[in-house]
Amino acid sequence: MLEASANSGASPQPGIHQLIAADGTGVDDEELAPLVADVDDEQLIQFYADMVTIRRIDMEATALQRQGQLALWPPMLGQEAAQVGSIRALDQDDFIFPTYRENGVAFLRGADLAGIMSTWRGSANTGWDPHKFNMATPQIIIGAQTLHATGYAMGLVLDGRETLSIAYLGDGATSQGDVHESMVFAASFQAPVIFFCQNNHWAISEPVGLQAHTPIAGRAPGYGIPSMRVDGNDVLAVLAATRWAAARARSGGGPSFIEAVTYRMGAHTTADDPTRYRGVTELEEWAAKDPIARVKAFLQGRGKLDAAAEAEVAARANAVAAELREGCINMPDPAPMSVFDNVYTTEHAILDRQRDHYERYLAGFAGTESATSKLEGSRS
């Protein structure tokens, strides 16, 4: 483990908790198994459907970006199990602080598809009401959400609440000062926060081995935060690990850190070309560990999920994709004055003045058609 290469590649790594192996066979993990003893085939089929659906969302959104309907999209291909397994371990009251890649989490939390897309289309700063869904808006600043999650969790303690907060972060974010400060505060105040790190092996174009010469999960104990390293492509193992962390948080046990070892099969965003930096065999190696294929194999090995059920899941995923497309391409462009909405929760004198100025500025265009259409931001 001391070698620099120990954590750099796609090869199997020791010390990773797993319940369903890459080939779909069950794995006996004494620590995790009791945490998911209640999960039956029906629930597992639901997880499978969740994963198929968010992968389908990812594909449609990627296509929409290529068609000029979205400005940008951060693909989540390959990370479906990490997203599904974690969100399905949480209660609706638990507050989620996501990165920009947790669009599958947002969908499963209940956010409106068109709303999710509005941010990526550039139509809105906020795709959903954070308070309605107990989920903050996508955080673009790497690692900043861990501070928010920690602060929120500290507030939960003060409020005497029994819920928790979860910060999603990536392997690259663990190099950020924000993340380290968050962990110091979380440990100091024993805040009920889960640091859920999806190690997808690439911080844009930097391989994880560059920033973490030993497993990332090993950092947390240094702050006094227990951690667990789990197969991030194993939805059941992710569910179990998140339940472990959630139970600790709810029972006053303080923060936990989960490293879900997964792989970003797609680009960092649609503006990125991963073929320029990743190894030629990486995709093949990780495709063999595909999160959806292994659950499918696991279920089929148990005689569940026949062709009809599979087709039904696919059909439902297609319907979601169709709804997404409709919502996206028919999305009205925002009115110019809406830029002032949702900036402050209360009246704000400076903002009011700016609103007034902008209103009068816009009024100056009255009657000139070209200007109006320009302001409305015509998008064909």
Partner 1 sequence: MIQEFKLPDLGEGLTESEIVSWHVAVGDTVELNQAIGEVETAKAVVELPSPFAGTVTAIAHEPGTVVEVGEVIITFEVDAPAGTGPRRNGTPASSQPVTGEEPQKRVPTLVGYGADPESSKRPARRARSFAASGSTTTATTVPAAEAAAPLASARVQADRPRSTPPVRKLARDLGIDLAVLVGSGDRGLITRGDVTALVGDPTRESGAAAEVPASNGEGRTGSWNAAGNAAREVRTPIKGVRKFTAAAMVQSAFTAPHVTEFLTVDVTAGMDFLARLRASREFADVKLTPLTLAARAVCLGIARQPSLNSRWDGGANEIVTMNYVNLGIAAATPRGLVVPNIKDAQQLGMHGTAAALGELSSTARSGKTQPADLAGGTFSITNIGVFGIDAGTPILNPGEAGILALGAVRNTPWEYQGGIALRQIMTLSLSFDHRLVDGEQGSRFLADVGAIISDPAMALALS
Where helices occur in the chain by DSSP H, the ranges are: 41-66, 80-87, 103-109, 113-121, 130-133, 144-159, 177-188, 208-211, 235-250, 282-287, 291-301, 307-329, 349-363, 369-375
Binding range to partner 1, per CB under 8 A, among 56-64, 131-139, 226-234, 241-249: 56-64
Cβ(270)–Cβ(65) below 8 Å: yes
Nearer to partner 1, 237 or 305 (CB): 305
| 268 given a catalytic annotation | yes
Among positions 22, 44, 55, 237, the unique one binding partner 1 when judged by CB under 8 A: 55
Q: How far apart are CB 319 and partner 1 at their closest, in Å?
A: 9
Task: Show the tokens assigned to 248.
Answer: 């600790």
Contacting partner 1 (CB under 8 A), which of 29, 50, 60, 259?
A: 60
Residues 208 to 267: which contact partner 1 by CB under 8 A?
265-267
**The sheet that has 256-261: what strands, in order across it?**
95-97, 165-170, 193-199, 256-261, 227-231
| Nearer to partner 1 (CB atom), residue 219 or residue 268 | 268
329 versus 375: smaller Cβ distance to partner 1: 329
- Calpha distance 349→236 (Å, rounded): 51
Tell me the C-alpha distance between 343 and 78, whole Å.
35
Q: Which of 6, 63, 309, 375 binds partner 1 (CB under 8 A)?
A: 63
Instruction: Please tell me whether residue 21 binds partner 1 under the rule CB under 8 A.
Output: no
The span of 147-155, 230-238, 277-285, 340-348 binding partner 1 (CB under 8 A) equals 277-285
Site string for partner 1, 326-355 (x = CB under 8 A): x--x--------------------------
Residue with tokens 């709804």: 323
Cβ contacts of 354-362, under 8 Å, gap ≥ 24 = 362/336, 362/337
Q: Is 264 a catalytic residue?
A: yes
Nearer to partner 1, 273 or 359 (CB): 273
Q: Which residues, other chains included, contact 6 with Cβ-Cβ below 8 Å and sequence gap of 6+?
A: 13, 209, 213, 214
Does 283 help bind partner 1 (rule: CB under 8 A)? yes
Which among 132-140, 245-253, 325-333, 337-345 is the span making contact with partner 1, rule CB under 8 A?
325-333
Instruction: Give the CA dihedral 285, 287, 289, 294, nearest 10 degrees.
Output: -150
How far apart are the C-alpha atoms of 221 and 67, rounded to whole Å?
46
Nearest to 200 by CA among 84, 82, 297: 82
x/- binding map, residues 69-108, to partner 1, per CB under 8 A?
Answer: x-xx----xx------------------------------
Phi, psi of 257 (to 5 degrees): -130, 130
Q: Which amino acid is at 244?
A: W
**Exactly one of 88, 264, 294, 325 is catalytic; which is it?**
264
The residue annotated as part of the active site, out of 17, 55, 248, 268, is 268
- Of 113, 15, 100, 112, which Cα lies nearest the Cα of 61? 113
The residue range among 35-43, 99-107, 191-199, 281-289 that interacts with partner 1, by the rule CB under 8 A, is 281-289
307 binds partner 1 (CB under 8 A): no
Clarify whether 101 is annotated catalytic: no
Binding mask 109-148 for partner 1 (x = CB under 8 A): ----------------------------------------
- Specify burial of residue 47 (Cβ count, 10 A radius: 0-12, 13-18, 19+): buried
Binding site for partner 1 (CB under 8 A): 52, 55-56, 59-60, 63, 65-69, 71-72, 77-78, 265-267, 269-277, 279-284, 287, 290, 292-293, 296, 310, 313-315, 317-318, 321-322, 325-326, 329, 380
Which residues carry out catalysis?
264, 268, 277
